[in-house]
Structure 1
Amino acid sequence: MEIDQLRYFLQVAERGNFTRAAEDLVISQSALSRSVQRLEDELGQPVFERKTRSVSLTDAGLLLQARAQQVLSILEDTKAEITDDGQSGRIRVGAIPTIAPYFLPDVLRQFSAAYPKATVVVQENTTDHLIKSCTQGDVDLAILALPLPAKYLEVEPLFDEELFLVMPKDHALADKKSIRLSDVEPLPFVLLDEAHCLSDNIVSFCRQRSFQPVSVEKTSQLAMVQELVSLSHGVSMIPAMAKSIDHSKQRVYRSFAGRKPTRTIAAVWNPYRFQSKLLQAFRQQLQATTR
């Protein structure tokens, strides 16, 4: 049983299709099929149930998937530990779309200046996907918003940030310096779609005050939420980090009176994976930047 066979097997299991897995691995489909076939010959039973256009794991395949992930994780951690000099290497960092473009650039600039030999690879994705990537070791650390539906991951809160009401510049509430939640209760909202946790933060805050925001439009990009607000499609709530770099004169931001809506930003990682000196330095940089 070879390491490449395990990698190939895991890719097919992930994609559920030999053709797509072969494209990802940049090998021919026939070579991939032969590799999996040799693996099945050695095990004496199939690891995939072949269908017309897809494959699914058999019971043996499910067991092999768990063990193969463990084996490859051990090998990767061993190599990382042996070559860990605290100055060079690669860190894989994940962040949700409502954090990555606003918070990470300053962190990356400062870290790059302090560790010029290091490489930081950034992956932007939704919370559920990044939790899975952290658990499986596909990313070394993720920057997410609490709460998290995750077990067995280490969570380090970094900071809280306020959510501001954003509205068109000529909105009836634009002249108010402070907004009450009752002021926006009858207004239509533009929100991110269900895959983004920011919408959960907004809805949760409103529900705690017996108020259900009425969403008239949903989009997948925070910048599009802001643009739709400018076009008078509704109002929304925007994190402080996004507000701070918004120089448009077509919309205005206001703080809520009383208890303000906030979200907590946290760093998340798998404590069962090897933590390199470089990764520890990156975590320290996160703390320094938030301070």
Structure 2
Amino acid sequence: MATGSLWGLAVYGAERALPSASLSITFKGRARTLKPEHQQSFGSFFKSWRSSEGPSCGRLLDLKKYLKKFGDFDDHLELALKAYQKFYRLNVTGNLDSSTTQQMMIPRCGVPDIINPPPSTEPSSTESKHKKFHMVAHYAFGSNKWPPSKYALTYTFGPGLQVFDLNTLRSVCADAFQKWAEVTSFTFTEAADGASADIVIAFYSGDHGDGKPFDGPGNVLAHGFFPQAGRLHYDADENWSTDPAMDQIDLESVSVHEIGHLLGLYHSTDRESIMYPSLQIGTKKRDLTQDDIDGIHALYPN
């Protein structure tokens, strides 16, 4: 969800802010064709900046991969960076400056920020390619939504990895669903044991079969798929908590965000919004803002 991949997109890592020295690159022309041996992990890309190694072909490729993963950006890196900076309300320079780099380091939802064409209900399907995309004010949504006959949604907990005991997970998710129930016509009920459900919630690590593998600690925290796929996945490798310390991720904050994707909302450019893609470690962000409420009401008019 964005997917809705919280921040992850979500695209909801958890590195400290990087120093401003040696962080500015201007990209002109098309990206170079790179050999496979130059490809590095995105984490290595940022570590190289920290150690002042400067740019390399491999690190530029990692930047390009990041921009594509979270927004289907243009192959031209300068244009891609400008699109990223515009979405996050940064100074639009087309340069990889310190503020842009620091934004990329914040944990996030795995759902792309700029979705064009809008995603379908299934990650690998292309049936929704030409559906209309709406962006009004700061919130955004597409054409994927639950029909009125499915406003009484059920959810269950899948057979993924155990990160919390079931009662804790139940309590957190019930509170998160209630935030959306209070401002919509939706109801959310846990399905009886063994019964099928509209939404399946689980923790996974790495490649878990949905085409959107998790990346370990930091960066992508979770993702939720748009209607009517009904899947909410958390990255089990994150340092989760129900009452986060400075180095932990708040489970309820991420859950409220991902449920927004399950209902059909895209990411918002409003930094205060629940549907903003990024979440700072050690913080709680659990309450819907007016932007979130306006967005869900626009998607599901009364």
Q: Which TM-score applies when normalising by structure 1?
A: 0.26
Bigger proportion of residues as helix: 1
Say which structure, 1 or 2, has more relative contact order (CA 8 Å, 6+ apart): 2
Q: Between Structure 1 and Structure 2, whose CA radius of gyration is higher?
A: 1
Q: Which TM-score applies when normalising by structure 2?
A: 0.25
